Amino acid sequence: MAKSSSLVTKVSVQRRRRVHRSRRSPTKPERAAAADTFGSLAGCPSSPEYPVVPDLDDCVVDTAVDDAPVVAAEAAGRRASDETLAVHAGEKLGSGAAETDSIATPIVSGTTHWFRDSADLIAFREGWRRSFEYGRYGNPTVKVLEEKISALERAETTLVTSSGMNAIVATLLALVPPGGHVVVTADCYSEARAFIHDKLSKMGITSTFVDLDDDMEALESVLDEDEVTMFYADSMTNPHLKVVDVARVAELCHRRGALVCIDSTLASPINQKPLALGADVVLHSATKYIAGHHDVIAGCVSGSEALISRIRAWHHDLGGAISPNAAYMIIRGLKTLALRVEAQNRTALRMARLLEKHPKIERVYYPGLESSPWHGVATRQMAGAGGVVSFEVASDMRGVMRFVDALELPLIATSLGGCESLVQQPAVMSYWGKSEEEKAKNGIKDNFVRFSFGIEKFEDLRDDILQALEKI
């Protein structure tokens, strides 16, 4: 017993010493070893490919952090992959805004941050002391999430908001002044479309809705005739999965001084990077693929510091701050984003090919199919075609309802991009009660189905869909 007690005491003392031992600066050999071990995890290089630039007012920087792995990776000309950035950006590879050596990002729930003295406050106000002040203006946990998304989008900075719609409203109010003109694709998110048409018009902002199904002539015509402030579009669109040629649109708009804003929710940062294609601002409903678990509502907008700072000012007034708890849940979900999206891409493409050949399916909408009119542009600008497949069943409304009800795995629900597969028949969900004229204008038929594939095994989903089609 005496030996046992002595051993326990000895071990305890050793652990205390290890915890409280002061840290020394690493030697050159140690730095070299660290570079060899972690050099592939490119951190925050100054290259525009991964320019995570922290906001002066919204983050804390520990200048003692060892950046040898970052320097080594930059010197070697490497950049971390999306898979690695999704795990480490904003935490190991970032400003270290949460100031901790915990592997898991801490949830900083405090709403108010204090200053050591007046000089500390003045330093913060003048921009050379990086800190936080009040939760509506910034939070350490939220900052980690913003840096992570910035890394994935190759953006200078990102603003995370309480919802996708909040991000859309703040962006439009900040970047389109009274008297401005917005060109909008006719099939953008319905609530964004309504806000632009109904609300912005009351502020003296005009709008033109164009259809880019065939070519760019409609857009070019508007750009030639009017002074356009912004082009706004979803790519991919919901639910018909059309793909905007972002590079071509950016070329046309920038030539005439117009900004380009892309809602890339259905593509995710893994499948598409609009900023790299020439867009000025990229939006997401982070509720969908980014969070990925149907358990948190959030939005985000990424772009240059110059543009996002204007949006952030409006966001502060609108009060759409996300809670630190919600930010943590998204950070945790983001770690598997690349894995989830890869699985969803693969399942959706295989299922789209199968459905395209099925005798009870009239048409399949999916840009990953060679038969899709959007396949060419999707191939040029996307790494994958996403996890949503829409199709028309060879039946009437009641027949399609029987098909949907016979499915055993997917849940009948709105939203998309999560781990669980979801299915909906828009005619009896989002367009229920709408006139036939409105449904026709938006390409919604009674036999139209939108299927958001989760991460279940392909064979299980395949068998479920095939047995449900037999019920028609």
- As annotated, the active-site residues are 136, 189, 263, 288
Q: Other CB atoms closer than 10 Å to residue 198's CB: what's the count?
A: 9
Token pair recorded at residue 203: 């502020």
Torsion from C-alpha of 167, 172, 175, 181, nearest 10 degrees: 160
Output the CA torsion sign for 130, 135, 138, 139: positive
Q: Other CB atoms closer than 10 Å to residue 11's CB: what's the count?
A: 10
Token pair recorded at residue 297: 């509502």
User: For residue 269, what are the contacts with CB-CB under 8 A and spacing of at least 6?
Assistant: 82, 149, 152, 153, 284, 290, 337
Q: Residue 363 and residue 47: Cα distance in Å, rounded?
A: 44
Q: Residue 316 and residue 53: Cα distance in Å, rounded?
A: 20
- DSSP three-state, residue 14: helix
Looking up tokens 């060419």 gives: 376
Output the CA torsion sign for 165, 167, 170, 175: negative
HSE value, Cβ hemisphere, 13 Å, CA-based, for 40: 5
